[in-house]
Amino acid sequence: MKNLITITLILFSLIKLSAQVGSTKEEIIEEYGTKYITEKTDDNTPYIFYVDEFKTKVSGKYMRYTYFYFTETKNKELKCFLRKIIEPFTELNAFVENFNNKAYVKISELKWKNYENNLIYNLEVDDVYCTLRVYID
pTM: 0.83
Residue closest to 113 by CA, chosen among 124, 125, 99, 101 = 99
Instruction: Encode pLDDT of 10-34 as tens digits.
Output: 444 444 445 589 999 999 999 999 9
What is the reported pLDDT for 19?
55
Instruction: Encode pLDDT of 23-75 as tens digits.
Output: 999 999 999 999 999 999 999 999 999 999 999 999 999 999 999 999 999 99
The boundaries of the domain holding residue 10 are: 2-136
| H or E element at residue 2 | helix 2-15
The dihedral sign for the CA sequence 137, 36, 93, 126? positive
- Strands 119-125 and 129-136, by their bridges, are antiparallel
Residues 9 and 12: their CA atoms lie apart, in Å, by 5
| Averaged pLDDT, 88-107 | 92
- Strands 78-88 and 46-56, by their bridges, are unpaired
Domain count, the chain: 1
What is the reported pLDDT for 103?
84
